[in-house]
Amino acid sequence: MAARRLFILDNYLAEHERKIRVYRRDFDPLESYTEDELRARFRFGRAGIEYIVNLVKGEIAPNTRRSYSLSATTQVLIALRFLSSGSFLQVIGDTFNAFDKSTVSRVVRRVTLSLAGKAAELIKFPSSRAAKDEIKQGLFRLGGFPCSIGCIDGTHVKVIAPSENEPDYVNRKGFHSINVQAICDHRGNQYYELSFE
């Protein structure tokens, strides 16, 4: 009888054995990757990533001191990797320190909502009804665009290789440039210019 109880207890413990916690290795892409590798993976250089982290850190930084919470930098890197690659959440999680798909989903949502909340501070469109109507009519006359209050486009502006920080100006196509995105009205007046060096 005692042997049977011991056998049952051994089987129960084997089936309900506690999962062994797997600790992720510390890997900091900002420290480990070169500027070119960062741009290839995240479409931003070190300075651009740090700017985005500082922009959203107050909203996405963990409120806990637990050792398993994701830092603001890690969250921004996960979101940028997802947005730059267009890959699946599971793939991003697997390639980025083996995070679960649900974690990647929450992080991408948190970071993109935080960035979208900053749009009003960074992009200024015409606010008066008269100005909007004038631009709508102008764009319709020029190109037949109905109900549009602006045009957006981006380009790589070629530059001569600077003597300082030369690798920062090599784009993903292999030549020196500044990546510029502009939004303008029917006259070509810019609302805002985003420049990523």
**Residue 177 DSSP code:** E
Cβ proximity of 177 and 169 under 8 Å:
yes
Give the pLDDT score at 21.
Answer: 60
Instruction: Give start and end residues of each alpha helix (H) in the chain.
Output: 2-15, 29-32, 35-42, 46-60, 72-85, 89-95, 101-117, 119-122, 129-143
Give the pLDDT score at 98.
Answer: 74
Give the pLDDT score at 137.
Answer: 92
Sheet order of strands, 177-184 included: 151-158, 177-184, 190-196
Give the pLDDT score at 77.
Answer: 92
Cβ proximity of 74 and 110 under 8 Å:
no
The packing angle between helices 46-60 and 101-117, to 10°, is: 90
SS3 assignment, position 167: helix
Give the pLDDT score at 194.
Answer: 47
Nearest to 72, CA basis, from 51, 93, 45: 51
Q: pLDDT tens-digit profile of 69-125? A: 788 998 999 999 998 887 888 888 877 767 888 989 999 999 999 999 988 787 777
Residues in the chain, pLDDT under 70 = 1-2, 6-7, 9-10, 12-26, 65-68, 97, 191-197
Element (H, E) at 184: strand 177-184
SS3 assignment, position 113: helix
Give the pLDDT score at 26.
Answer: 64
SS3 assignment, position 98: coil
Q: What is the mean pLDDT of the chain?
A: 81
SS3 assignment, position 193: strand
